[in-house]
Homo-oligomer: A and B are copies of this chain.
Amino acid sequence: MPETNAAPELNGLYFQLLNEIGIINQLSRAAFEARLPDGMVLPQFAVINHLIRVQDGRTPLQLARAFQVPKTSMTHTLAGLEKRGFVEMRANPDDARSKQVWLTEAGRTFRQTAIASLAPDVAAFSDTLDRDELVEVIATLARLRKRMDAARD
């Protein structure tokens, strides 16, 4: 029995896509965390990574939005990073309610080490897609990501 929608099977394909994405995410998460030291967890690494990519000094709320997690979760993640000395929380000069998250030297070198230790895992399947395929699939997913982001009002 087909759906009653205007473009019925499209939805099914999107479900399938999100499903694949979920599985890959789970696989990479498991692999990543296996490499990270002791209790270090993927979101913490992701935050460091993000701060490198888009400059540090972000506020906790900006980070929470970037990762689509509740701000309480970000508070927790940042607390963990601060306890390990990978980030430093400073007051926001523009807004006394707010804070800024800055990477420490330890945080930066940790990222380098982590990426290096992750490389072999990536290398284990890096022959799957060639450069052109990678570039294309990244572009496609980025398009979808932006659209989804915009769609959530």
Contact = CB atoms under 8 A, between A and B. Distances in A.
A24 B21 contact: yes
A134 B10 contact: yes
Interface of A: 3, 5, 7, 9-11, 13-31, 46, 49, 67-69, 115, 119, 121-126, 128-129, 131, 133-135, 137-138, 140-145, 147-149, 151-152
Given A27-B68, A121-B151, A137-B140, 20 more contacts: A10-B131, A13-B131, A13-B135, A15-B115, A17-B141, A20-B145, A21-B21, A21-B24, A21-B28, A21-B141, A23-B145, A25-B25, A27-B145, A27-B152, A28-B148, A30-B152, A31-B152, A125-B147, A125-B148, A128-B148
